[in-house]
Amino acid sequence: MKYLLYPLFLVITLKSQAQDVIFSQNFLVPETLNTSFTGAIRSSKLGSVHKSQWHTTTFKSNSSFVYFDTWHEGYKMGLGVSFLNQTESGSNYTFNQINFNYSMAFQLNDTWFFRPSISAGFGMKNYGFQNTLLEDQINLNNNSINTSSIDPIVLGTQRNFFDFSSSILFNNDDSWIGLTLRHLNKPNISLTDSGNIPLDIFISVHTKYYLPFLENYRTWFANKSKIYVLSNFMMQGNTNRFDLGLQYIFDDQFSFGLTAATVPLKNQNTSSILSSVSTFAGIKWQGFRFGYSYDFNTTKLNFTGGTHEFSVTYDFNINIRALNRYKCVSYF
């Protein structure tokens, strides 16, 4: 069925879909954040994350991320592939992108490592506007619909583009800090053939820092407990976000965390500094890691149903970390 396209809805939809998806579990599944985690545990691993957002509204969106990577000890390099899918129910928008990732590792001293990576991908955006009905297509004199339009808002249905990104990661046994730059080539995502709308570069600076104060307590509980500070500053165009939180890990088997998403650099579209609060939990079982998170919306947008995320990953050789040839990045 054809329908009228409201300009306000169009602007909001296009603006939101020009921004990268952000997974709340990027500290449980850091491959969604930084490609330098490719092969970072010196074995093969497979994983996926699914995000359901605003599921009680007509603008429900779903995002899924799937990846596989492995480590080649002889070349000290990691190779991987990832696939991202996004859908939005209100506009029939879909986005698919496949990326091929390459990473290396260099030992800086006895405790720190440097891991650079590059990523090349191919993206396909489909806005589902093939059934859009524009004003000059409506002929009120004979109650007919013209098949063509000269309206300047005539849109294409699909945009394909190549995408290039790069990341770096510094890590020791317990902590890491990383930098990610996506869309370095600023691919054109315009909906018109003659248009040129470059996709803004996505910047992320993220850290996971181990707090050693529990080491002062000689108890069974303290010996099995670890606490980390989590932070992630992101910017893309006029949009910015800073996540700050804590993660608690018990016996390297159970993980619990809390992060707050804030908008530190306010602009005319910002109504609140705090935009959401995310809680997450994870559990390890043999080579599997399972995670769940829920985002509480703290803005004026009520009755959205929040955001749910589910993740599952599998390490094919969990004993490889015991080897002393090359240290691994701390995971959970």
Domain count along the chain: 1
Pairwise CA distance, residues 203 & 97, whole Å = 18
pLDDT of residue 13: 43
Confidence band for 4, pLDDT divided at 50, 70 and 90:
very low
What residues pair up with 79 in beta bridges, in sequence order?
A: 70, 102
Please, which pLDDT band fits residue 5 given cuts at 50, 70 and 90?
very low
In a domain, 329, yes or no: no
β strands within 105-192, DSSP E: 106-107, 113-126, 132-133, 138-139, 144-145, 158-171, 176-182
**What confidence score (pLDDT) does residue 16 get?**
46
**19 burial via Cβ count (<10 Å: 0-12, 13-18, 19+):** middle
Residue 72: inside a domain? yes
Tell me, what's the pLDDT at 53? 83
Residue scoring higher pLDDT (136 or 218): 218
| Cα gap 280→245, rounded to integer Å | 11
Q: What is the mean pLDDT of residues 292-298?
A: 88
- Helix then strand then coil, in percent of the chain rounded to 5, is 10, 50, 40
In a domain, 328, yes or no: no
Q: Is residue 331 part of a domain?
A: no
For range 198-217, the mean pLDDT = 92
Residue range 301-330, pLDDT digits in tens: 655 667 899 999 998 876 655 554 446 677
Calculate ∠ Cα 137-143-145, nearest 5°.
30
Length of the chain: 332
Q: According to DSSP H, which parts of 71-149 are helical?
A: none
- How far from the centroid of its chain's Cα atoms is residue 164's Cα? 16
332 within domain boundaries: no
Four-CA torsion 148, 152, 155, 159, nearest 10 degrees: 130
Find the mean pLDDT for residues 12-41. Answer: 81
Task: Please check whether residue 79 is in contact with residue 68, taking contact to mean a CB–CB distance below 8 angstroms.
Answer: no
**Is 330 within the bounds of a domain?**
no
CATH number at residue 288: 2.40.160.40
| Averaged confidence pLDDT in the chain | 82
State how beta strands 45-53 and 138-139 pair.
unpaired
Residue 133 located in a structural domain? yes
Helix (H) or strand (E) holding 10: helix 7-17
What local confidence, expressed as pLDDT, does residue 33 receive? Answer: 93
- Confirm whether 127 is domain-assigned: yes
Question: The domain containing residue 68 runs over which residues?
Answer: 3-322
Which pLDDT does position 167 carry in this prediction? Answer: 97
